[in-house]
Structure 1
Amino acid sequence: MLEATYHSLEDLAEAIGVALSAPITIEDRNHRLLAYSTHTADTDPARIATIIGRRVPESVIDQLWKDEVIQNLAAQDEPLIISARTGVGLNDRVAIAIKQDTEILGYIWSIARSTPFSETELSDFKKGALLAQRQLLAIDMQKKRQEEKTEQFFFELLHEDMPESEILKTFSKLHVAPPGISRLMVIRFSEAITPRLADRLRYLLTIQQTVRPLLYAYDETDFILWISTNDQDAHHERLQFDAFIQSFRQMLAERFNYTNFISASSEVFTGVQSIPERYEETGIVLRLKDAFPFELSTVTRYERLGLFQLLPIFSERLRRRTVRLEEIERLRSYDEKHAASLCETLEWFLHYDGNVKQVASHLHVHPNTILYRMRRIEEEAGIRMESLPERALLYLYLKADRYPL
């Protein structure tokens, strides 16, 4: 029989374990281990991995989401009997969500016994969730206060250069380990980030184990992250980062039905300085993706922009009229006079590196039409594109008008 109060979650976990004669774990809403009871020799790999890593393995969480176990726990107030998932090392379980009204604060899990739990034991299990509620509320409030301090520091770091010593000192106060190689990243949504979405983003960021989140913050429609792989090999870092992006996008879509967003990252960097510059790089990627959604649909990392990296500078020069290509201006005059589309044809001819079939397919015309237009381009503007520098300059010039300064 459980008592009315317990001094700690460890005491509560042990008491529930005694009442049920089964091993117990208590987790927060993000599946991080808070307390666990003594266990016997018949424990399973998932419990051992959770205790060692202080968090539920990502493979276990992923399987429980796919099987709608997490959803079912959120939807009910009674203990849930969960059959084994041996593929991820999980034996039969009984679990219950710890809630404040409809808000999930955490979970209590028990490994099932060889004999079924009685109604009295399941009642004790439910009472344990109620007893854990007060302690988890206190933990939750403390975490939110810490997150507010961390977010405020991150915003300052994004907008002003700080001495390295000051940054590292604050890292130490916030219990954040300095990064190896890292990136800044922004996930931009079509609408303002609500508290509900913010909770879900934090949840997904916490349960993934591909990259290490250093700091994060929210700014209207943007979820801003500083993430590190602690891998000094640049190739491996790119692989891990791309895997994180793909996984995060998939989880947002499958678990919470969020698909209307774009993501961008800075160039990879080491150390903790020049953060405002890295943040500006994410902004450049976002502006370019907005201006060129087709061309940059698969691009997230700043270094993969290629020639598009030059567009901000080139566009500024074009606006100040310090650069001008008479050939393109003649084509534009021809297009306006004859309601033609030679500039558009040239732009996509350059984009597809002269592949006439691809250009024709993109513009929904016959390949012979493209060949005819290219002859007109040569005749009207004298453009022959005999060298790579010439082709690159033409391409930049045609794209520059669409870049928002």
Structure 2
Amino acid sequence: MFIMYPELQHLVDSLATALSRPATVEDRRQRLVVYSRHSELPDAVRRASILQRHVSAEVLAWLGRFELAKARHPVRIPGNVSLGMLPRVCVPIRHHDLLLGYVWLIESDKSMSSEEMTLAETATQDFALALYREVLFGELASHRETEAIRNLLLCGSDVQADAARALIDGGHFDPSLGVVVLVARPVLTPDTEPDDRVWLALERALVNTRHRLPARHAVHLVSHSDGVLLFGTEGEADELTVNRWASQFDHALQTALAGLEQVSSSLIGVGQPRPELAQARGSYLEADQAARIAASMPDVTRIARWSQLGIYRVLAQLLSQDPGELVLHPGLERLFTNPEALPLLQTLETYLDLSGNARATSERLKLHRTSLYYRIQRFEHLADANLKDGNERLCLHLGLKIARFTGRYRPVG
């Protein structure tokens, strides 16, 4: 639900009338707060801002060039044809030195005069007081909700019950519902770190998905590295319902992350349903682990359901304590440290994945059958292993999967 801010609405309408041009106000994270009356939506960016409550990652990247968060005075932003964006003026809203948001004015027909720029800048003093009062109050309420969700997911059972009660009493979640937890995790390109744009993209995907659900059916939590959605289920949570909302969330996530150069893909882990909100931590731990497994195992789908992870689910639980000292197989350990052995390891893993079917392995790897047999024999020699021994095959196969999961073995491609 979009929150109304009466004082801010009056101020933005007054400024738009004085300047004879429509205006919008965003918070410091560039999320729409209020907007004046528009006879028409002048460009695609303003249209997205009003209709979808946010703009794309590409637009945020373009605006990031102008370091608006550091601005003390109005900043002129040139148009960008590829983004469907007309020239506009951004006026920072500050309370003393604290950045609270921005006023946006489009220069579609003519540029603003210096007098108009001064008028807009002066008006931000009133905007600052209103934002400080109204938005800060909303952020305090949001902080209480966020704190309750953190306690629900991360603390002990006694605290979890109190946190669930706080969310229910605060009108955020229907007490008659069960709960399923989804964890979304962006996959970053090498040598990059998540920034505010990733945080905003996660927030938008979560909010968009949450708004599609009925009232009091969902809450969410976001950090720079992942986003968590808790959604309510009525009665027995059937697989089709869970899959549908996981797909909706995935679509929102893909849309929100599009254009962020530091994000190569994204993953969603899906926990098992729980009968009441106070038990959400169990579903969260499963969803978090499913997302971790999906990041380590390329044969796991982008939407990874805990219930469908098979042997990986078992490995995750076995390795949840301290897998670092685990000795997998003496021969494997030697080859893990030898970069030249990587093709042999990848060949062996595929061969074992396909139950020792040489024809299927050759086709999967696009490898001649003779070359396949050579690699298998070469591996047996270097690892001092015997693939005719069923127990040793099991040990090697399990060792490769554990090594993937713990990062000791990282195949290419």
Same topology, TM > 0.5 = yes
Q: Which residue of 2 aligns with 1:17?
A: 16
The separation in 2 between residues aligned to 1:207 and 1:367, in whole angstroms, is: 48
1:121 deviates by 0.9
2:309 is paired with a residue of what secondary structure? helix
Deviation at 1:309, TM superposition (A): 1.5
Deviation at 1:127, TM superposition (A): 1.8
1:184 aligns with 2:182: yes
Contact 1:105-1:136 at 8 Å conserved across structures: yes
Partners of 1:79 and 1:287 in 2: CA distance: 42
Question: How far apart in 2 are the matches of 1:83 and 1:304?
Answer: 49
Encode CA deviations 1:24-80: one digit per residue, 9 max, x unaligned.
2222234444333344x35547657755x5x63x4x444523544774544543242
In the TM superposition, residue 20 of structure 1 has moved relative to its aligned partner by 0.7
Compute the displacement of 1:237 (Å).
2.8
- The alignment status of 1:350 with 2:349, answered yes or no, reads no
State the partner residue of 1:216.
Answer: 221
The alpha-carbon deviation at position 13 of structure 1 amounts to: 1.4
Alignment partner of 1:307 is 2:307: no
For residues 186 and 223 of structure 1, the distance between their equivalents in structure 2, rounded to whole angstroms, comes to 5
Check whether the contact 1:345–1:370 (CA below 8 A) recurs between aligned residues.
yes
CA distance in 2, matches of 1:142, 1:134: 12
Residue 409 of structure 2 corresponds to none
Letter in 1 for 2:122: K
1:154-184, CA deviations, whole angstroms, 9 ceiling, x for partnerless residues? 1221144589997775335545355897533
Q: 2:250 aligns with which of 217, 221, 242?
A: 242
The equivalences for 1:90-101 within 5 A come to 93-99=88-94
Paired residue type of 1:351: D
Q: Structure 1 residues 181 and 247, CA, compared in 2 at 3 Å: closer, same or farther?
A: farther
Q: In the alignment, residue 26 of structure 2 is paired with which amino acid?
A: E
The answer (yes or no) to whether the contact 1:31–1:207 under 8 Å persists in 2 is: no
Query: What letter is aligned with 1:367?
Result: L
Match of residue 226, structure 1, among 217, 229, 241: 229
- The aligned length equals 359
How far off is 1:189 after superposition?
A: 9.7
Provide the TM-score with structure 1 as the length reference: 0.64
2:347–2:372 Cα contact (<8 Å) kept: no
2:179–2:276 contact (8 Å) kept in structure 1: no
Once the two structures are TM-superposed, the CA of residue 124 in structure 1 deviates from its matched residue by 0.7
Match of residue 26 from structure 1: 25
Which of 282, 286, 290 is the equivalent residue of 1:285? 290
CA distance in 2, matches of 1:232, 1:360: 35
Q: Unmatched 5+ residue regions in structure 1?
A: 1-6, 191-195, 320-328
Partner of 2:112: 117
Distance 2:37 2:141 in 1: 31
Residue correspondence of structure 1 range 195-210 to structure 2 within 5 A:
202-208=199-205, 210=208
Q: Match of 1:349, as an amino acid? A: Y
1:93–1:360 Cα change, 3 Å: closer
Q: Could you tell me which amino acid in structure 2 is paired with residue 211 of structure 1? A: T
Q: Take 2:300 and 2:95, find their aligned partners in 1: how far apart are those partners? A: 44
**% of aligned pairs identical?**
19
What TM-score comes out, normalization by structure 2 length?
A: 0.63
8 Å contact kept, 1:16–1:128: yes
Distance in 2, Cα, partners of 1:15 & 1:110: 13
- 1:370 aligned to 2:369? no
